Amino acid sequence: MSDTTHPAEPKSSPLRNVVRHAAQYVPALDAILRERHLRYRMRAALGYDPNLSQPATFNEKLGWRILHDRNPLLALTTDKINARGYVADRVGNDVLVPLLGIWSRAEDIEWEKLPNRFVLKGSHGWNMNLLVHDRTVLDIPTAVSQANGWLRRNHYETAGEWAYRDLTPRLLAEEMLLDADGGIPADLKFYVFHGRVRLLRVHIGRHGHHRANSYNERLEPWSVRQAHEPDPSYVLPPETQDALRLAERIGEEFDFARVDLYCVGGRVFFGEITHYDGNACSPFSPAGLDRVIGDYWTLPSSHRSASSTAIVPR
């Protein structure tokens, strides 16, 4: 999940529409327009002109990845269904949230066979989650319409993130995880660089009063801010160290991956793997931390030659 609101796009014009139409048939032009569009969004969100040919900050390196990195593992693990198999191969099935079903059409869901509480998701993007706390009062026609709307989305077209481009749109349902208070558990987002966690962002109350705390690799509080206010009363669960080790094993094949986990009932559960955190458009506070965190990330050795041109093969 990218966890960001994209900055407003420049107003369209007849000429711009013609160029966009032509770009559908000319890969080189498409690549140039996508880089231009990404630069515009990054500049508007971050407040600085990103250097995508010699990236140094975390967001610049994310921008480079969006434009150039075509590692097939990015696409494999971006798909929420395929990611389950990848994670099970690395750390075992015990971390997987129980799966209730997979569908290609919302009309095929047999709602009466699902438990009273569950979560319905789109496998091929972000912000496609329906939390069902009581199936008996669910408006099924509305849910079907919403889910079919997800299936028509392609996040590559809106965000330019390559790993989403060719994913098969599917729906999946998983059991709903609840914390000791009966609420949605905190989301522990581990930033794994070259197999090592360097930053943990814990999102609390995501479906209500959303707050976020940051911690360093030793799980000590770190004054890293992005978008949400911290919660000084929050205490990390005792399983966090186990979760950190699992995140490193799950993310060790990538130069960077954000691995999202949950700690519930003394166990650690897998959420998702994200490769384009914030779509390269999430500013840090203090701003200098963008560079500090970027220093943890060494891009693939091919990045110099790849970034020498805006023409990227599709």
Per-residue pLDDT reduced to its tens digit, 240-278: 999 999 999 999 999 999 999 999 999 999 999 999 999
Domain boundaries, the chain: 12-70+182-314, 98-176
Look at residue 313 and tell me whether its pLDDT is greater than 80: no
Average pLDDT of span 32-60: 96
Q: What band does 14 get if pLDDT is binned at 50, 70 and 90? A: low
Task: Give alpha helix (H) positions in 92-235.
Answer: 140-151, 155-159
Is the C-alpha dihedral spanning 307, 309, 311, 313 positive or negative? negative
* Residue 18 clears pLDDT 90, i.e. is over it: no
40: left (phi over 0), alpha (psi -120 to 50) or beta: alpha
Span 44-57, mean pLDDT? 97
Q: Which of 24-28, 82-86, 255-259, 303-307 has the lowest mean pLDDT?
A: 303-307
C-alpha to C-alpha distance for 243 and 186, rounded to whole angstroms: 13
Q: Which of 231, 211, 223 is nearest to 285 (CA)?
A: 223
